Amino acid sequence: MNIVDRIKNILLKPKEEWPVIAGETTSTAELYTNYIIPLAAIPAVASFVGLSLVGLPFIGRLSMMTGLSIMVTQFVLALAGVFVLALVIDFLAPNFGGEKNQAQALKVAAYSMTAAWLAGIFHILPMLGILSLLGLYSFYLLYLGLPVLMKVPADKAALYTVVVIVAGIIIWAVAGAVSAVFMPTTTMTMPLMR
């Protein structure tokens, strides 16, 4: 299935798409190359454009080097974050009556992030950044995908989803802390381009 069809199906008819995904044999390399990398690039590139080319109200534009370092760091951490989230999903599955399956866990982590990655496009215009909250739809996608791919009983799916979401929030917080190590300055003190 091509990427555009997968995106449409996972967003518009996820209940029908998750069983299709469950039946697919997709390697980690294929999933990263054909889906995760292109989608994870959307918010990273949009942030670069928004911060370094468009600029922030009352602050201006960040330098190209600062923007590029933010973009690369955000992109690399997104790629690593999906993999770590998949490890957490796989690790937790037996605790909720599910089956361990690392390949299925990576598919759940990757495809459930679709809405969040697409919503990252709003960072192209910093004033529209709040619209990236539309990416919260990814939580619902995760909720629908976990029982199908990880074979979790329906009565435990909600709690499993909440635990995975909390773990995901912790992962993204750690990723934010890691990125702060590489870029210790805040947006307010970063070099601006006039």
131-178 per-position pLDDT tens digit: 777 888 999 999 999 999 999 999 999 999 999 999 988 888 887 787
Give the β-pairing of 192-193 and 61-62.
antiparallel
**pLDDT mean across residues, the chain:** 88
Give the pLDDT score at 46: 92
The pLDDT value given to residue 67: 83
Is there a contact between 71 and 148 (Cβ–Cβ < 8 Å)? Answer: no
Which sequence spans correspond to the domains of the chain?
Answer: 3-188
pLDDT of residue 174: 83
d(CA 43, CA 73): 12
The pLDDT confidence band at residue 189, using thresholds 50, 70 and 90, is: very low
Question: Residue 60 carries which DSSP code?
Answer: B
- At residue 182 the predicted structure's pLDDT band, cuts being 50, 70 and 90, is low
Tokens linked to 37: 């990398």
Q: Is the pLDDT of residue 59 over 90?
A: no
Tell whether the model's pLDDT for residue 39 goes beyond 70.
yes
**pLDDT > 60? residue 185:** no
The pLDDT assigned to 192 comes to 43
pLDDT tier at 50 (50, 70, 90 boundaries)?
A: confident
Helices (H), 126-153: 137-150
pLDDT tens profile 100-141: 999 999 999 999 999 999 998 988 887 777 777 788 899 999
Q: What percent of the chain has pLDDT over 70?
A: 91
The pLDDT of residue 34 = 96
Average of per-residue pLDDT across 57-63: 75
With 50 as the cut, is the pLDDT of residue 79 above it? yes
- Residue from 82, 146, 163 nearest 116 by CA: 82
